[in-house]
């Protein structure tokens, strides 16, 4: 099996894919929940993605383009705007409209899409999906029920999501899913009047009952399947979708890939996978999960910086994604406690702790800078190393260091194990494969 992963914006990625190549698409997009989601890494909370929306100039441009193009999407946009106006929800729906339009284009005529949403916008997404895929191609609104979490005082707890299922045409792939009967139905039988077979007795199918459009008791991620990624869905949920609406060797796509559960479920069941996510941590987690599968797929990765220009582009687009990439290149997870407010930089973007043979800990502090080289950045790192009682500091930079930076780093000296106590690695060094020097005990 093959798994093609892409790091970057899914709209740009989708626009480069050929027409009619995907057999099944599942997406678990943002819900417009007005929340930000973190993932625990290295004892800290690192922001995985944000789900807050507000109307802006780009939304106005997209809205105008849809109206100009006319058609069902234009009518939908005009009608929706009359109801809710220029607001965060409209911004979110336009974001989804551009992507659903591209997803329809890349689906085969026999293909299907499952859109996972909650009560925040499921009613709006149903109307939007009707406009994109045609109401006649709506197949199901699947209700996935779960439990747990808080209980409001004045309302019923919201404990279900809706998964909208559409086909691209009337000729679509579908395999009925059967599960064991509930215990009270086992062994039961009944008679039905049938002119073709009078008195015939009907009983439970030995292969089990056909699954309806309400799904319960699908186990939450646990054990090795749990990666503590926000919004991670059960593997059993994705396996049911994939087995129902695709066949072996088909291509399954998820352009809001998250932690990669769709990818794992697809490969596990003999399907190929194509996926995209705008968060580097998500792509990295998905790739790690695929690599440790019993039969790992052939993995390809695009969007990952491969040249200095790529690294500069990433740093300009999102300095925090550049930070995640740089740390990953040296095999270190982020340790910065970075919430949605992204407050003042603590100077510690990564931390590496090695336990030596004598039982003592050797700590390396890592700082990442995606801007122009500044001597003050290096001095700040040296100060942080001293403050934290660490043994070494590593500065990962976008550009090459200045002569003053090289001189200052060298002046920090050599450690107890013959190691350089202050090391500077540029993006070029990282792309050339250079890593944090290992500690060699004497």
Six-digit token string for 216: 């319960």
Asked if 228 and 156 sit in the same domain, the reply is yes
Coil/strand/helix, residue 165: strand
Asked if 330 and 287 sit in the same domain, the reply is no
Six-digit token string for 240: 């049911």
Is 277 or 51 the better-scoring residue by pLDDT?
277
Give the DSSP letter string of 130-147. Answer: HHHH-GGGEEEEEEEE--
What's this model's pTM, rounded to 2 decimal places?
0.84
> Of 47-51, 215-219, 383-387, 424-428, which range is least confident?
47-51
Query: Is residue 148 within 8 Å of residue 234, measured between CB atoms?
Result: no
Identify the pLDDT of residue 286: 94
CA–CA dist 157, 154 (Å, integer): 9
**pLDDT exceeds 90 at position 99:** yes
Asked if 341 and 412 sit in the same domain, the reply is yes
As a three-state string, the secondary structure of 177-242 is: CEECCCHHHCCCCEECCCCCCCCCEECCCCCCEECCCEECCCCCCCHHHCCCCCCCCCHHHHHHHH
Identify the pLDDT of residue 33: 61
Confidence class for position 204, pLDDT limits 50, 70, 90: confident
What's the Cα-to-Cα distance from 383 to each of 28, 195, 260, 365, 374, rounded to whole Å? 43, 90, 39, 11, 15
Identify the pLDDT of residue 338: 40
**pLDDT exceeds 50 at position 425:** yes
**pLDDT exceeds 70 at position 349:** yes
Asked if 292 and 338 sit in the same domain, the reply is no
**pLDDT exceeds 60 at position 401:** yes
Q: Which of 90-94, 214-218, 315-319 has the highest mean pLDDT?
A: 90-94
List all residues 6 or more positions away from 371 whose beta carbon is below 8 Å from its beta carbon.
315, 319, 398
Write out the residue range of the structural domain in which residue 356 sits.
Answer: 325-431
Identify the pLDDT of residue 164: 98
Query: Is residue 395 within 8 Å of residue 378, measured between CB atoms?
Result: yes
CA–CA dist 202, 393 (Å, integer): 74
CA–CA dist 266, 241 (Å, integer): 10
- Of 95, 88, 109, residue with least CA distance to 19: 109
In a domain, 201, yes or no: no
**pLDDT exceeds 80 at position 222:** no
CATH number at residue 417: 3.40.1350.10
CA–CA dist 45, 238 (Å, integer): 27
Confidence class for position 198, pLDDT limits 50, 70, 90: low
- Where is 370: in which H helix or E strand? none
Query: Is residue 215 within 8 Å of residue 237, measured between CB atoms?
Result: yes
Mean pLDDT confidence for 38-58: 64
Six-digit token string for 437: 């020097």
In a domain, 193, yes or no: no
CATH number at residue 114: 3.40.50.150
Identify the pLDDT of residue 217: 74
Confidence class for position 260, pLDDT limits 50, 70, 90: very high
Query: Is residue 86 within 8 Å of residue 128, measured between CB atoms?
Result: no
In a domain, 190, yes or no: no
- Looking at 245, 268, 302, the residue that finishes a domain is 302
Mean pLDDT, all residues of the chain:
88
In a domain, 81, yes or no: yes
Taking the alpha carbons of 369, 371, 374, 376 in that order, is the dihedral positive or negative? negative
Asked if 281 and 380 sit in the same domain, the reply is no
Confidence class for position 50, pLDDT limits 50, 70, 90: low
Asked if 217 and 347 sit in the same domain, the reply is no
> Of 115-124, 218-227, 328-337, which range is least confident?
218-227
Asked if 132 and 227 sit in the same domain, the reply is yes
CA–CA dist 347, 285 (Å, integer): 25
Identify the pLDDT of residue 227: 74
Asked if 363 and 422 sit in the same domain, the reply is yes
Query: Is residue 298 within 8 Å of residue 2, measured between CB atoms?
Result: yes
Query: Is residue 327 within 8 Å of residue 333, measured between CB atoms?
Result: yes
pLDDT tens digits, residue range 292-345? Answer: 999 999 999 999 899 999 999 999 988 888 998 999 899 887 764 443 334 445
Residue in this structure with the two tokens 């990669």, named with its chain if needed? 260
pLDDT tens digits, residue range 239-257? Answer: 999 999 999 999 999 999 9
Query: Is residue 118 within 8 Å of residue 158, measured between CB atoms?
Result: yes
Asked if 235 and 370 sit in the same domain, the reply is no
**Helix residue spans in 246-361 (DSSP H):** 261-268, 280-291, 308-317, 319-329
**pLDDT exceeds 80 at position 206:** yes
Confidence class for position 115, pLDDT limits 50, 70, 90: very high
In a domain, 11, yes or no: yes
In a domain, 218, yes or no: yes
**pLDDT exceeds 50 at position 207:** yes
Mean pLDDT confidence for 341-353: 70
- Of 296, 286, 275, residue with least CA distance to 26: 275
Is 4 or 442 the better-scoring residue by pLDDT?
4
CA–CA dist 365, 394 (Å, integer): 6
> Of 22-26, 145-149, 181-185, 408-412, which range is least confident?
181-185
Mean pLDDT confidence for 132-149: 93
Identify the pLDDT of residue 37: 47
In a domain, 275, yes or no: yes
Asked if 165 and 114 sit in the same domain, the reply is yes
Query: Is residue 114 within 8 Å of residue 241, measured between CB atoms?
Result: yes
CA–CA dist 93, 77 (Å, integer): 9
CA–CA dist 9, 318 (Å, integer): 12
- Where is 17: in which H helix or E strand? none
Mean pLDDT confidence for 18-41: 78
Asked if 293 and 337 sit in the same domain, the reply is no
Domain total in the chain: 2
Confidence class for position 375, pLDDT limits 50, 70, 90: very high
Of all residues in the chain, the percent with pLDDT exceeding 70 is 87
Asked if 30 and 122 sit in the same domain, the reply is yes
Six-digit token string for 189: 């039988």
Identify the pLDDT of residue 339: 36
The neighbouring-strand residues paired with 392 are: 364
- Looking at 302, 334, 355, the residue that finishes a domain is 302
In a domain, 411, yes or no: yes
Of all residues in the chain, the percent with pLDDT exceeding 90 is 68
């Amino acid at each position: 099996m093959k798994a093609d992963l892409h790091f970057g914006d899914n709209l740009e990625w989708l626009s480069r894919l050929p027409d009619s190549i995907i057999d099944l698409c599942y997406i678990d997009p943002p819900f417009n929940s007005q929340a930000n989601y973190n993932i625990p890494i290295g004892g800290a909370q690192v922001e995985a993605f944000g789900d807050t929306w507000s109307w802006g100039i780009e939304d106005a441009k997209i809205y105008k383009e849809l109206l100009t193009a006319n058609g069902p999407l234009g009518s939908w946009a005009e009608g929706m705007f009359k109801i809710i106006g220029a607001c965060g929800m409209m911004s979110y729906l336009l974001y989804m409209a551009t992507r659903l339009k591209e997803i329809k284009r890349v689906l085969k005529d026999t293909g299907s899409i499952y859109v996972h949403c909650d009560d925040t916008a499921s009613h709006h997404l149903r109307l939007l999906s009707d406009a994109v895929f045609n109401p006649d191609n709506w197949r199901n609104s699947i209700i996935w029920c779960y439990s747990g979490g808080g209980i409001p005082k004045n309302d019923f707890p919201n404990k279900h999501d809706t998964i909208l299922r559409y086909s691209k045409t009337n000729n679509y792939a579908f395999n009925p899913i059967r599960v064991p009967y509930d215990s009270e139905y086992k062994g039961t039988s009944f008679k039905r009047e049938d002119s073709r077979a009078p008195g015939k007795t009907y009983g439970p199918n030995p292969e089990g009952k056909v699954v309806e459009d309400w799904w319960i008791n699908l186990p939450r991620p646990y054990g090795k399947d749990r990666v503590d990624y926000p919004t991670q869905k059960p593997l059993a949920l994705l396996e049911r979708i994939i087995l129902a609406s695709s066949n072996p060797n088909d291509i399954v796509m998820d352009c809001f890939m998250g932690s990669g559960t769709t990818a794992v479920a697809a490969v596990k069941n003999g399907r190929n996978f194509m996926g995209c996510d705008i968060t580097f941590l998500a792509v990295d987690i998905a790739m790690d999960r695929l690599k440790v599968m019993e039969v790992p797929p052939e993995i390809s990765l695009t969007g990952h910086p491969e040249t200095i220009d790529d690294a500069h582009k990433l740093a300009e687009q999102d300095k925090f994604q550049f930070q995640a990439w740089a740390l990953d290149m040296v095999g270190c997870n982020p340790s910065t406690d970075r919430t949605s407010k992204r407050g003042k930089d603590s100077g510690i973007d990564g931390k590496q702790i090695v336990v030596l043979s004598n039982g003592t800990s050797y700590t390396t502090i890592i700082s990442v800078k995606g801007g122009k080289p500044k001597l003050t950045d290096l001095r700040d790192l040296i100060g942080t190393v001293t403050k934290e009682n660490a043994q070494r500091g590593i500065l990962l930079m976008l550009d090459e260091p200045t002569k003053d930076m090289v001189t200052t780093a060298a002046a920090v000296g050599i450690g107890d194990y013959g190691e350089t106590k202050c090391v500077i690695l540029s993006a070029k060094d990282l792309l050339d494969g250079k890593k944090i020097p290992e500690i060699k005990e004497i």
